[in-house]
Amino acid sequence: MKGVFVHKPPKPRYLATWDVSILLHYLSSLYPLDTLSLRMLTIKAVSLLSLSTAQRCQTLASFSLDSVKDSGTAMCLSASGVLKTSRPSQPLYTVNINNYKKLSICPCYTLRTYILATQSKRKSQNLFISFFHKKAVCAATIAGWIKEALISSGINTDIFKPHSVRGASSSAANLAGLSISEILKTADWKSEKTFAAYYKRDILPSFSDIVLNKM
């Protein structure tokens, strides 16, 4: 086994990640919200929440509608059940998201619209429900929705899987100057080493960056 390790040492899945502006540009095109089908509204809400919180699909699937606290300027979401990072006597994991000035990519505005659209149809108190049978969905379904958004935005999902949103958003936050402590708190990482080893990546240039930089 040691020989295998020396011959083929473990390495991270991604050496670089994609520019979040690519996905945001696509999501902003899904507007106004009242023109979207429930399917597309769901995909947009999940994708924006994934981008703005850097959460695992498991966590997104565990958010409860009963635990949503909306102040009008921000929203607080609490996970229910046991998560990958749950520990004994640990309080429920919560994330906070603020209103954003541009409504076409505001996660709070999109979530409020989604909650209102599913209010009379839902058969589960989980935040995200199937747009077919209106019951709770699992993490794999959440990942499938995010993958659909990535494909539609032009991101190569043969290389970048739905979980890559976690690294792309946290790397973008780090590049923008957000403190490591705030990144770790938001993404629910206990150690900076975890972020550095598995998620902090250089961001691949977009097509427009390459073209416009030729001036």
Tell whether 180 is covered by a domain: yes
Task: Kindly report, residue by residue over 119-138, the tens digit of the pLDDT.
Answer: 999 999 999 999 999 999 99
- Domain assignment of residue 47, yes or no: yes
| Pairwise pLDDT comparison (17 vs 11), residue with the higher score | 17
Q: Has residue 100 been placed in a domain?
A: yes
213 falls within a domain: no
Gap between the Cα atoms of 160 and 147, Å rounded: 9
* pLDDT at residue 201 is higher than 50: yes
According to the model, what pLDDT value does residue 84 have? 54
Q: Check whether 91 has a pLDDT greater than 60.
A: no
pLDDT of residue 85: 55
Residue 2 lies in a domain: no
Instruction: Return the top range by mean pLDDT from 71-85, 91-105, 132-146.
Output: 132-146
Q: What percent of the chain clears pLDDT 70, i.e. is strictly above it?
A: 82
CATH for 66: 1.10.443.10
Number of structural domains in the chain:
1
Which residue range(s) make up the domain with 102? 13-206
**With 0-12 CB in 10 A as exposed, 13-18 as middle and 19+ as buried, what is 156?**
exposed
Structure confidence by residue, pLDDT tens digits, 19-45: 999 999 999 999 999 999 999 999 999
Domain assignment of residue 4, yes or no = no
Q: What pLDDT is stored for residue 92 in this prediction?
A: 60
Burial class (CB in 10 A: 0-12, 13-18, 19+), 69: exposed
Is residue 3 situated within a structural domain? no
